[in-house]
Structure 1
Amino acid sequence: MINELAFLSSIFSTARKDWGMEGLQNPVGGIRKPSPGRPRDRRLEPGEEERLLDEARSYGDGMMHDIIIIA
């Protein structure tokens, strides 16, 4: 979420500085940014990938399986 807020803020800053839209307010400026939190480093345990893909295959039209494979 922090990256998304920074990206939105940069869009508004660019619009103000480079495109001459000085009156444009940056709505992200008033938002308190959340703390980044602890980084996670979890790996799948043996058998979890197979179970995950089986469930994803049966979810909806099966596209979730393809999305997980691509990711």
Structure 2
Amino acid sequence: MATDGLRLRAAPSFNGRIKGLLCNGDRVFVRIQFHPSYNRDWVGVVLTQKGRGGLSKRTFGYVYKWYLA
């Protein structure tokens, strides 16, 4: 488990390429609540501002929903 941030992935899977890290306080918008091809534990999100970990505003990716608050 990453302790320095939440991994933003290119695909809704633990095997998906890591695009970068979301840091505590980064704001995201949930675009896809349940990915139909996989299980319901992944959500598609878009950063609404530049991320503290260096990700650009409007970057899209998937996160494991149980880590979101």
| Length-normalised TM-score, structure 1 | 0.19
Larger RCO of the pair (alpha carbons < 8 Å, separation 6+)? 2
TM-score by length of 2: 0.19
